[in-house]
Structure 1
Amino acid sequence: MNRQSSRKAASADAHALAGELRALAGKLKRRLREQADVGDLTPSQVSVLLRLEKDGPATASGLARMEGMRPQSMGPIIAALESAGLVRGSPHPTDGRQIILSLTEACRTRIDEGRAARQDWLSRTIAARLSPAEQQQLAAAIGLLRRLVDD
């Protein structure tokens, strides 16, 4: 095999690996999502909650900007989260026209319980389906995956 055909084969292999990895990551994400009950929350509501958890309190307009949506579209999302007791608003310290939104303790508990359920399912599944040698292979693969996504 010459050098050019060797490069083409390696590129095809990388392309196939990328497709398999993407599909597998999607399937794992769905399986993990099944393990934690998000109730009747929409994907947009979950995204806002995770944004508030990650970035801290924010205004509705700030959240809309971060989520890439119009401020008018954020209103119903916030209203639903407030009525579910997951988000609360408090006056902005310097701008009385704005409200700062933050997670409630009930929401933080719900997030923590969801993560624990997903972690428990994945831990049990790894232990049940993979031998100790396979678990070591998985650990090595995680290192490689980390290199793909870390800057």
Structure 2
Amino acid sequence: MDKFRTKIRNRVLFLIILFISLIAIYLILLLNQDSLPKTSGRIMSFHAGILSGFGVLLLLDVFKYLRAMKDEKELKKLYIKENDERTIMIMQKTGAIGLNMCIIGLGCGAIIAGFFNEVVFLTLMGAILFISLVKGLFKIYYHINI
């Protein structure tokens, strides 16, 4: 269980670093907006909404992991949930890790592209929507059939 506790601690550190770096990148781009091409208000509102939502989700995960690290029962529940063979097989079949990395990478690219070009921003958002839809359909299919 100590290995798992270390894994959770590293995950918490990664999530905190990710949260801080996202805010830093957004603030740098926002504060240097005068030297960048003019962006529409819709994109800026979308950026603020995505950053807020993603930040809340990251912080919820951090709190969930910190709570699990304090309570042995919660840590054991989390360990069982993460090492469930059926869930692992479904994630492997759907390529969940690779698709998640694609979604995150395209999302970061879309946010940065939104400061420069609206067409590229909308194209990347369309790609994210398509990948998310495919991932969701795979999950539904494998949950039903396995």
TM-score scaled to structure 1, two decimals? 0.32
Which structure: greater strand fraction?
A: 1
The answer to which structure, 1 or 2, has the higher relative contact order (CA under 8 A, 6+ apart) is 2
